[in-house]
Amino acid sequence: MSCRNDMLKFDLEEQTLAVINGPPVTDRPLCCQIIQAEAKDGAVGFSVLSYPRLQMWQGIMNIPGVATWVMWKTIEMNNILGLPPQIQAGWRGFETILGYSEDTYAIFIYVDTSVYMVQLKSMQSKRLHKTIYINDYHPLTGFYSPGITIAGGCDGAEVLHDALG
C-alpha cells in the first residue's frame, strides 16, 4: 500500500463522495493531519510533520474534487516554546501528529516520549504527559446543558469558563 496524502470529501447535500489530491509535499510524510485553515472562504488546511519542521498547507477548492495548494507556513519545531531542543537518540523517527482541536486551534504531537499540545497561534506548547505509547487523540473541550445548575449556585457556563480559563 502506498503512502498518499489524498483526502475524501463527502457532500451531505449532494450525497457525493470525491477524492481530493493533497498538497505537493516533497518529503515523504510519515504523519499528516487535516486542520482548519485560518481563512474562512472554504479553505482546508493540511499539516505535515517532518521533524524538525511542521509544514502548514492551505487548499482552496475551485471545483469539486480539485484543490489549489499553497504553502501557508513552515514552522521550525525548535522555535515552539516548551518543546525539547533535542530528541533522545533512541526516539528519533517516532515524532507524529496525534490529533487536532478546531476549538482551540491546537495540534497534539508526540515528541521525545511525551505528548505535547501546541497552540498554533501563539507557538507555545504544553507537555501533557510522558508515555511510550503512541495513540490518536480526540480532544473534547467541554459542553453543558443550558438551564442546569450545579449545587452551590454556579451555572454551567461559569463552570465551563472557569475550567477553560
Position 150 in a domain: no
Cα dihedral across residues 91, 96, 100, 105: positive or negative: positive
Position 156 in a domain: no
Q: Which domain holds residue 61?
A: 7-139
Q: Chunked in runs of 10, what are the mean pLDDT values of the chain (165 residues)?
A: 62 82 68 61 75 82 74 84 64 74 85 86 88 72 62 51 47
Task: Say how many domains are in the chain.
Answer: 1
Position 151 in a domain: no
Position 106 in a domain: yes
Q: What's the confidence (pLDDT) of residue 160?
A: 47
Position 155 in a domain: no
Position 127 in a domain: yes
Q: How far apart are CA 27 and CA 57, in angstroms?
A: 14
Q: What's the confidence (pLDDT) of residue 21?
A: 78
Q: What's the confidence (pLDDT) of residue 1?
A: 30
Q: What's the confidence (pLDDT) of residue 158?
A: 52
Q: What's the confidence (pLDDT) of residue 31?
A: 63
Q: What's the confidence (pLDDT) of residue 13?
A: 86
Position 131 in a domain: yes
Q: What's the confidence (pLDDT) of residue 152?
A: 54
Q: What's the confidence (pLDDT) of residue 42?
A: 61
Q: What's the confidence (pLDDT) of residue 86?
A: 62
> pTM above 0.75?
no
Position 163 in a domain: no
CA distances from 12 to 9, 15, 18, 116 (A): 10, 5, 12, 34
